[in-house]
Amino acid sequence: MNRGRTALLSLTALLGTALTALPAEADEVEQIRNGTFDGTTDPWWVSNVTAALSDGRLCADVPGGTANPWDAAVGQNDLTLVKGESYRFSFTASGAPAGNAVRAIVGLSQAPYDTWFEVKPQLSVSGDAYAYTFTSPVDTAQGQVAFQLGGAAQAWRFCMDDVSLLGGVPPEPYEPDTGPRVRVNQVAYLPTGPKNATLVTDATEALPWQLKSAEGAVLARGRTVPRGGDVSSGQNVHSIDFGSHRARGKGLTLVADGETSRPFDIDAAVYEQLRLDALKFYYTQRSGIEIRDDLRPGYGRPAGHVGVAPNQGDANVPCRPGVCDHTLDVTGGWYDAGDHGKYVVNGGISTWELLSTYERALHARTGRPGPLRDGTLAIPESGNKVPDLLDEVRWELEFLLRMQVPDGEPLAGMAHHKMHDEQWTGLPLLPSDDPQKRELHPPSTQATLNLAATAAQAARLYRPYDRAFAARALTAARKAWTAALAHPEMYADPNDGIGGGAYADSDATDEFYWAAAELYLTTGERQFERHIVTSPVHTADIFGPLGFDWARTAAAGRLDLATVPNRLPGRDRVRQSVIKGADRYLATLKAQPYGMPYAPDGNLYDWGSNHQVLNNAVIIATAHDLTGAGKYRDGALQSMDYVLGRNALNISYVTGYGEVGAQNQHSRWYARQLDPALPNPPRGTLAGGPNSSIQDPYAQSKLQGCVGQFCYIDDIQSWSTNELTINWNAALARMASFVADQG
């Protein structure tokens, strides 16, 4: 996942043009010569394949064992592209055996071989037709269309026909089915909580609305509040407030302007289940262990990356060439997202947010540790007298500890930034079937401080259950802290994005602050207190429009200093800063007709915007924990409405929740959309959500010119808008837990 996919970032050059260019006025002109292979393969070239005509198609026998997609290819050069003109790139293609992927690109035929458009469809034996539109970012007479076929372990056969690159074609319009114009939380409102909806309408005057039971009886009525144009969606909208109705009910609907909403409940019980489902997600993300079908019916699979062929395994992973001379056992942990990589910085923020969900249950006025007790998550460790949430998180913590450079090696105590496949793999692909070489990537200051922070937090939370593990975690945290102080600017390479996301970050002051906070909260030592109070982060305004994330971790330290009992001098100012941040997000929520505490600058929705909505809601929820004020409780509760259906697309972004919800999140093994033998993502999985940058080719082919909330598509190919990740689900779990506690 993530903005680190530099293998495809050449597409961002296209993006700036794609979002602003008007459809070309030129006549449609075919750029491909002999795309139907009429008696010859000229002027197509081949590289490292044996190609010939077969039944009017060009078929290529591709050798197995190549490392990169471009190690075997078919293509055509000397194509002319006009900057700002739209093109339709289409072809039919088949592969045998089924399941192989072709990387089809339009780019520059000479160095530096820029790529301006690319797709990577899986091929079936019977053949399929593919068509995409894009806008050229350049003027060139050295364009190229290429079908890159390398990277497969076994030999295979590729056939293609009807290849076309047609210029002067406007982008194909994509009109999502948004259903009824009354947008509600499709899951449930709390009986004692706020109840708001959004009506999309051209009307400028207030309109009557009715709340109806499942049987059609009118339960409440009122009038809408016109809100005018909504920047986030480009729609004209009204607000509906039916919070005065507190009776429980199931299958309720709102009716306004001749439209009937999708059904919803007024009940708190569903959030108890959502809390558990959001947490159960992590078991099926585990690496290095068989996923038992009796614990997750329909999701059982063999252990991934344990050295059983074709896996090369994670028990003895080397560094990338030139990085180090040691190997590490880095088994375990969670697969980060829809790929097979494991990343310390994303694992760190995920671990912290889940541990903080548990820690909140211990300290907050409405916290309840009981729902997180042993036996609640149906995992292999259930029944060991340790809270299941702590058991699940320990699976990731053990991996994070293994990523620390051992004593006696250069950079001892630092943590490797990430480990993953040497090359990107295609979809679908079970973890147990991944044949790629696994590699450790260089240590980074940020990864080391993520380890220090989470291990220090773990030391205090696991002490009642496993004193030896708590002591080991604290030792590792101290060692990481010392190593980071010695190497304060060792940052991940932003270009290190082949086979896995780069997760680049050029500022570690926030990670130093967070790690010092966790070490102080666990030890109370003056050295960590001094770092906190002298850090510029300590008094900085850290609650901006985008909120916190793996690259913006100051809030993790600030929230824990505000909520975990401690004696930090000036602690009241820390708590007030959180409340001030919550006030800002609450004001944003009230100004948004769709009621979410998220309004990015320029209405440019960021990668994973759904979890940013939820993390901003975490700040509001924490203000309620600190003050008990009802306005913060209501704001936090209302924030959940957006991800559960009260949005411009009228879709629940959580699988299995709501009448119409996301179900095709980008994943290599939750891939039913590509392989009916595989499941969709498990119930309780959060989709990334609208992303104005639409970096992936599929989203670009559908969403060019999209406005804010409409920059999303529920398709497995759209990794920039529809991936799942461990940190996004952590935000969902934390907020679902808060809402459940309010019930």
Mean pLDDT across 298-305: 98
- Whole-angstrom CA distances from 409 to 216, 323, 327, 404, 455 are 71, 12, 11, 11, 21
Please compute the mean of the pLDDT values over residues 257-267 and round it to a whole number.
98
Q: What letter represents residue 729's amino acid? A: N
Would you state the pLDDT for residue 20? 30
**pLDDT above 70 (res 292):** yes
CB atoms within 10 A of CB 33: 12
State how far the Cα of 274 lies from the Cα of 399, in Å rounded to an integer.
Answer: 27
Instruction: Identify which has the larger pLDDT, 545 or 696.
Output: 545
Helix (H) or strand (E) holding 415: strand 415-416
Q: Which of 359, 538, 666, 696 is catalytic?
A: 666
Q: How far apart are CA 470 and CA 174, in angstroms?
A: 53
What's the confidence (pLDDT) of residue 650?
A: 98
Structural contact between residues 351 and 400, judged by C-beta atoms closer than 8 angstroms = yes
Cα distance between residue 190 and residue 212, in whole Å: 17
The residues, any chain, with a CB within 8 Å of residue 370's CB and separated by 6 or more, are none
Q: Is the pLDDT assigned to residue 424 strictly greater than 90?
A: no
pLDDT band of residue 6 (cuts 50, 70, 90) is very low
According to DSSP, the residues that pair with 241 across neighbouring strands are 196
Of 65, 268, 77, 75, which is closest to residue 160 (Cα–Cα)?
Answer: 75
Q: What's the pLDDT score for residue 125?
A: 56
Does the annotation count 723 as an active-site position?
A: yes
| Predicted pLDDT of residue 722 | 97
| Catalytic annotation present for 666 | yes
Q: How confident is the model over 263-275, as pLDDT tens digits?
A: 999 999 999 999 9
Q: First CA to last CA across the chain, in angstroms?
A: 34
User: Residue 528 is encoded by which pair of tokens?
Assistant: 């960590």
486: phi then psi, degrees, rounded to nearest 5: -80, -20
Q: Per the structure block, which two tokens stand in for 201?
A: 């309408």
**Of 97-101, 238-242, 553-557, the least confident:** 97-101
| DSSP annotation string for 234-280 | TEEEEEEE-TT----EEEEEEEETTEEPPPEEE-SHHHHHHHHHHHH
pLDDT tens column, 358-414: 999 999 999 999 999 999 999 999 999 999 999 999 999 999 999 999 999 999 999
Q: Give the type of residue at 690.
A: P
The pLDDT, as a whole number, for residue 740 is: 98
Active-site residue identified among 314, 336, 641, 723: 723
Which of 163-182 are b and which e, b meaning 16 or more Cβ less than 10 Å from the residue's Cβ?
bbbbbbbebeeeebebbbbb
- pTM equals 0.84
Token pair 């602690």 in the structure block, residue: 571
Catalytic status, residue 305: no
pLDDT of residue 5: 32
Residue 425 has pLDDT above 90, yes or no: no
Q: Which residues have CB under 8 Å from 513's CB, separation 6+?
A: 531, 532, 535, 537, 538, 553, 554, 557
| pLDDT of res. 126 | 54
pLDDT (average), residues 293-309: 97
Query: What are the DSSP calls for 589-617, one per residue?
Result: HHHSTT--S---GGG-PPTTHHHHHHHHH
Written as six digits, the tokens of 667 are 């994943």
Q: Which of 462-471, 497-506, 509-518 bottoms out in mean pLDDT, i.e. has the lowest?
A: 497-506
In tens, the pLDDT along 146-172 reads 999 999 889 999 999 999 999 888 766
- Whether 453 and 528 have beta carbons less than 8 Å apart is answered as no
Position 702 scores a pLDDT of 87
Instruction: Say how far apart CA 373 and CA 388 lie, in whole Å.
Output: 6
Cβ partners under 8 Å of residue 507, min gap 6: none
Question: What pLDDT score was predicted for residue 695?
Answer: 84
| Mean pLDDT computed over 681-692 | 98
Q: List the beta bridge partners of residue 93.
A: 128, 160
Residue 333 has pLDDT above 80, yes or no: yes
Using only C-alpha atoms, what is the Rg of the chain?
A: 26
Distances in Å between the Cα of 143 and the Cα atoms of 116, 132, 137 are 10, 17, 12
The burial class, CB within 10 Å (0-12 / 13-18 / 19+), for 572 is exposed
**Tokens (6 digits) for 331:** 């088994």
Q: Is the pLDDT reported for residue 605 higher than 90?
A: yes
Out of 696, 714, 715, 741, which one is annotated catalytic?
714
Alpha-helical regions (H) of 29-77? none
Asked whether residue 337 carries a pLDDT value surpassing 60, the answer given is yes
Give residue for tokens 């050029």: 506
Is the pLDDT at 12 greater than 60? The verdict is no
pLDDT at 554: 98
Residues 6+ apart with CB under 8 A from 175: none
Q: What residues does 133 pair with on adjacent strands?
A: 88
Residue 8 pLDDT more than 50?
A: no
Q: Which pLDDT band holds residue 10 (cuts at 50, 70, 90)?
A: very low
DSSP string, 156-184: EEEEEEEEEEEES-PPPP------SSEE-
In contact, 711 and 690? CB cutoff 8 Å: yes
Backbone phi and psi for residue 739, each to the nearest 5 degrees, phi listed first = -65, -40
Please state, rounded to an integer, the average pLDDT across all residues of the chain: 93
pLDDT digits (tens, 9 = 90+) for 16-43: 222 233 333 346 889 999 999 999 999 9
| Mean pLDDT computed over 289-316 | 97
Predicted local confidence at residue 427, as pLDDT: 84
Q: Are 607 and 720 in contact (CB under 8 A)?
A: yes
Cis previous bond, 112, omega within 30: yes
Which entry of 339, 353, 511, 634 is annotated as an active-site residue?
339
pLDDT for residue 14 is more than 60:
no
The b/e string for 118-128 (b: 16+ C-beta within 10 A; e otherwise) is: bbbbbbeeeee
Given a contact cutoff of 8 angstroms between Cβ atoms, the answer to whether 363 and 565 are in contact is yes
